[in-house]
Amino acid sequence: MKTEYFDSVWDAIELSKAEAANMKARADLMIAIQETVEGWHTTQAVSAKRLGLTQPRLNDLLRGRINKFSLDALLNHASHAGLSIKLEVVRPAA
């Protein structure tokens, strides 16, 4: 039996590197938004309004239902949460 090692769980379960990168970015954004919302110490209804979401939609985000959110939507929600986004593009070593 051969043991494989991956940089992230997404590399192990997604079919392509592009899909894994998308899922990793979405997961990172969701976690950052979740931590920000928790720091507000408000109700989900108040937090949802602040993010421009419905309360059920915020609940999906807080529960980590990643497949319900596109990368684009999460970038917008992060911006509404007051987060700054920095994208880093790295070329493979030659």
DSSP string, 6-19: -SSHHHHHSSSHHH
Tell me the domain boundaries of the chain.
9-80
Which tens digits make up the pLDDT trace of 19-78? 988 999 999 999 999 999 999 999 999 999 999 999 999 999 999 999 999 999 999 999
Output the pTM of the full model: 0.85
Q: Round to whole Å and give the CA distance between 70 and 47.
A: 20
**CATH class of the structural domain 9-80:** mainly alpha
> Residue 63 contacts by C-beta under 8 Å, 6 or more apart in sequence?
none
Which tens digits make up the pLDDT trace of 40-55? 999 999 999 999 999 9
